[in-house]
A and B are shown apart, each in its own frame.
Chain A
Amino acid sequence: MIEFLQMTDSKKIIIPTLSRRHFMGLGAVAGGAALLNKFDLLQPSLKPNHQNPKSLYPPVDFDREVYTMCEMCVWRCGVKAKVKDGVVRKLDGNPFHPHSRGMLCPRGQAGVATLYDPDRLKYPLIRKGERGEGLWARASWEDALDYVASRMLEIKEQYGPEAMVFSSTHNLIQTQFENLLKAYGSPNYGTQRSLCFNAMITANLLTYGMEEPSRDYSQANYIILTGRNIMEAISNSETQSLVAAQARGAKLVVLDPRFTKTAAKADLWLPIKPGTDLAFHLALLNIIITENRYDAEFVAENTVGFEELKASVAGYTPEWAASKCEIPADTIRQVAREFAIAAPNAFAHPGWRTSNFLNAFQTARSIGALNAIIGNWDQPGGFFASSGHDGGVALGSVPQPPYPRVSAMRLDGVPWKYPLVPLKLGVFQEIRDAILTGEPYQARGWFIFRQNPVNSLPERHKTMAAMSQLDFIVTTDISMNDTAWFSDVVLPEATYLERFDPLHVLGNTVFIRQPVIEPLFESKPGLWIFKELGSRLGLADYFQYDDEEDYIRQQIAPLGITLEDLKQRGYYTAPTHQEKNGHEVYTFNTGSGKIELASEALRNSGFAAVPKWDAPITNDADQFYLLSGKVAQHTQFATHNNRLLHERTPDNPLWMNPIPAQQRNLQDGDMVWVESSGGKVKTPVHVTEKIRPDSVFMIPGFGHVSKGLTTAYGSGVSDSDLHVTYTDPISGSQALSQTTVKVYKAEEGS
Chain B
Amino acid sequence: MANPSTDTPRKKRWGFVMESDRCIDCQACMVACSVENNVPIGKHRNWINHKESGIFPNLNQTFMPENCHHCNNAPCERVCPTGATYHRDDGLVLVDYDKCIGCKYCMMACPYDARYVDEEKAAVDKCTFCVHRLDVGQPPACVETCIGRARHFGDLNDPNSKVSMLLATHDHYQLYEEAGTESAIYYIRSK
Contact present between A and B (CB < 8 A): yes
Name A residues whose Cβ lies closer than 8 Å to a Cβ of B.
21-22, 24-26, 31, 34, 37-38, 43-44, 48-50, 53-60, 89-93, 102-106, 108-110, 112-113, 231-232, 234, 236, 239-240, 243-244, 246-247, 259, 261-265, 269, 271, 632-633, 643-645, 647-648, 657, 689-693
Bound-complex Cα distance A690 to B60 (A): 10
- New A-B pairs, 7, CB < 8 Å, besides A21-B40, A104-B145, A231-B26: A21-B41, A106-B30, A262-B24, A643-B41, A644-B41, A647-B34, A692-B57
Q: How many residues of B contact A (CB 8 A)?
A: 57
User: Cβ of B177 < 8 Å from any Cβ of A?
Assistant: no
User: Among B31, B37, B42, B120, which residue has the most Cβ atoms of chain A within 10 A?
Assistant: B31
Distance in angstroms between the alpha carbons of A263 and B62 in the assembled complex: 11
Does B67 lie at the interface of the complex (its beta carbon under 8 Å from any beta carbon of A)?
no
Minimum CB–CB distance from A93 to chain B (whole Å) comes to 6
Q: Of B94, B96, B147, which is within 8 A of A243 by CB? A: B147
Q: Once bound together, how far apart are the Cα atoms of A244 and B148, in whole Å?
A: 8
Question: CB of B149 within 8 A of chain A?
Answer: yes
**Closest residue of chain B to A247, judged by CB?**
B22
A residues near B132, Cβ cutoff 8 Å: 54, 57-60
15 contacts between A and B (CB under 8 A): A26-B38, A34-B122, A57-B128, A60-B136, A92-B144, A103-B28, A103-B145, A104-B32, A109-B145, A231-B24, A269-B59, A271-B56, A633-B27, A689-B54, A690-B59
Residues B59 and A644 in contact, CB atoms below 8 Å apart? no
Let me know if A689 and B59 touch, CB within 8 A.
yes
Q: At the interface, yes or no: B35 with Cβ under 8 Å from chain A?
A: yes
Is the CB of B55 closer than 8 A to any CB of chain A? yes
Give B173 Cβ to nearest chain A Cβ, in Å. 19
Residue of A nearest to B99 (CB): A48
**B30 and A648 within 8 A (CB):** yes
A90 to B38, CA, bound (A): 10
- Interface residues in B83-106 by Cβ distance below 8 A to A read 83-84, 86, 88, 94-99
Determine whether B146 belongs to the interface, using a CB cutoff of 8 Å to chain A: yes
Closest A residue to B125 using CB positions = A56
> Interface digits, B119-130 against A, CB 8 Å rule (1 contact, 0 not)?
111100000100
Question: A34-B122, A92-B145 in contact; A632/B59 too (CB < 8 A)?
Answer: no
B122 near A24 with CB under 8 A, answer no
B131 contacts chain A at the CB level, 8 A cutoff: yes
Does A48 contact B96, Cβ atoms closer than 8 Å? yes
Determine whether the beta carbon of B26 is less than 8 Å from that of A105.
yes
- Whether A24 and B121, one on each chain, are in contact in the complex, defined by CB atoms closer than 8 angstroms, is no
Q: Which chain A residues lie closer than 8 Å to B60 at the CB level?
A: 264
Query: Is B182 part of the contact surface with A, judged by Cβ < 8 Å?
Result: no
User: B residues engaging A (CB < 8 A)?
Assistant: 19, 21-22, 24-28, 30-32, 34-42, 54-57, 59-63, 83-84, 86, 88, 94-99, 119-122, 128, 131-133, 135-136, 138, 141, 144-149
With the chains together, A750 CA to B19 CA distance in Å? 47
Given contacts A34-B121, A93-B145, A689-B54, contact A632 B25 (CB under 8 A): yes
Question: Is the beta-carbon distance between A106 and B41 smaller than 8 angstroms?
Answer: no
- Would A265 and B59 be within 8 Å (CB), given that A103-B146, A643-B41, A644-B34 are in contact? no
A25 to B120, CA, bound (A): 10
Contact A647 B32 (CB under 8 A): no
| Residues in chain A near residue B63, CB distance under 8 A | 261, 264
In the bound complex, residues from chain B placing their C-beta under 8 Å from that of A234 are: 26, 147
Whether the Cβ atoms of B42 and A647 lie closer than 8 Å is: yes
Nearest B residue to A690 by beta-carbon distance? Answer: B59
Highest count of chain A CB atoms <10 Å: which of B35, B120, B131: B35
B31 and A110 form a contact (CB under 8 A): yes
Residue of A nearest to B60 (CB): A264
Contact between A647 and B41, CB atoms less than 8 A apart? yes
Q: How far is the CA of A236 from the CA of B41 in the complex (A)?
A: 25
Instruction: Indicate which residue in A22, A37, A92, A246 contacts B40 across the interface (CB closer than 8 Å).
Output: A22
A110–B39 Cα distance when bound, in Å, is 13
| Whole-angstrom distance between the Cβ of A524 and the nearest chain B Cβ | 26
Question: Do A243 and B22 touch across chains, with their CB atoms under 8 A apart?
Answer: yes
B146 smallest CB distance to A (angstroms): 7
Flag if A265 contacts B94 (CB, 8 Å).
no
Set of chain B residues within 8 Å of A57, measured between Cβ atoms: 128, 131-132
Minimal beta-carbon separation of B19 from chain A (angstroms):
8
Q: Considering the chains assembled together, what is the distance between the CA atoms of A579 and B32 in angstroms?
A: 40
Q: Which residue of A lies closest to B95 (CB)?
A: A53
Closest CB in chain A relative to B48 CB, distance in Å: 10
Within the assembled complex, what's the spacing in Å between the Cα atoms of A110 and B88? Answer: 31
For B98, the chain A residues whose CB sits under 8 A away are 37, 44, 53, 55
Question: In the complex, are the beta carbons of A109 and B55 less than 8 A apart?
Answer: no
Given A56-B97, A643-B41, answer yes or no on A106-B28 (Cβ-Cβ < 8 Å).
Answer: yes
Given A24-B38, A58-B37, A239-B147, decide whether A31 and B28 contact each other with a Cβ distance below 8 A.
no
A90 near B147 with CB under 8 A, answer no
Q: Are B35 and A644 in contact (CB under 8 A)?
A: yes
Nearest opposing residue in chain B for A231, CB measure: B24
Contacts of B141 in A (CB 8 A): 90
Which residues of the partner chain A approach B54 to less than 8 Å between Cβ atoms?
A: 689
- For residue A53, which residues in chain B have a CB less than 8 angstroms away from its CB? 94-98
- Measured CA separation A25–B118 after assembly (Å): 13
Could you tell me the distance between the alpha carbons of A645 and B26 in the complex, rounded to whole angstroms?
Answer: 11
| B100, chain A: closest CB distance, angstroms | 10
A244 adjacent to B121 (CB under 8 Å): no
In the complex, what residue of chain B is closest to A693 when comparing beta carbons? B56
Task: Please measure, in the bound complex, the distance between the C-alpha atom of A139 and the C-alpha atom of B34, giving whole angstroms.
Answer: 36
How far, in whole Å, are A103 and B27 apart by their CA atoms in the complex? 12
Q: How far is the CA of A199 from the CA of B98 in the complex (A)?
A: 60
- Contact present for A109 and B31 (CB under 8 Å): yes
Bound complex: CA A265 to CA B99 (Å): 45
In the assembly, what is the distance between CA of A231 and CA of B24, in Å?
6
Separation in Å of the A640 CB from the closest CB of chain B?
15
- Chain B hits for A647, CB < 8 A: 34, 41-42
Contact A243 B148 (CB under 8 A): yes
B26 contacts across to A, CB distance below 8 A: 105-106, 231-232, 234, 239, 632-633
Q: A21-B40, A21-B41, A243-B148 are in contact. Are A106 and B24 (CB under 8 A)?
A: no
B121 contact set on A, CB distance < 8 A = 34, 56
User: Could you tell me if B88 and A240 are in contact, using CB atoms closer than 8 angstroms?
Assistant: no
Q: Do A90 and B56 touch (CB < 8 A)?
A: no
CB closest chain-B residue, reference A230: B24
Q: Write the chain A residue with the least CB distance to B137.
A: A60
B144: chain A residues within 8 A (beta carbon)? 92-93, 102-103
Taking CB as reference atom, which chain B residue is nearest A89? B35
Roughly how many angstroms separate A29 CA and B95 CA in the complex, as a whole number? 20
Contact A243 B24 (CB under 8 A): yes
- The complex places the Cα of A312 from the Cα of B178 at a distance, in Å, of 63
Out of B19, B30, B148, which one reaches A240, CB within 8 Å? B148
A112 to B38 alpha-carbon distance, docked (Å): 11
Q: Which residue of B has the minimal Cβ distance to A645?
A: B31
B-chain residues with CB within 8 Å of residue A50 when the two chains form the complex: 86, 88, 94, 96
Q: Which residues of A contact B57 (CB under 8 A)?
A: 269, 271, 692
The smallest C-beta distance from B38 to any residue of chain A, in angstroms, reads 6
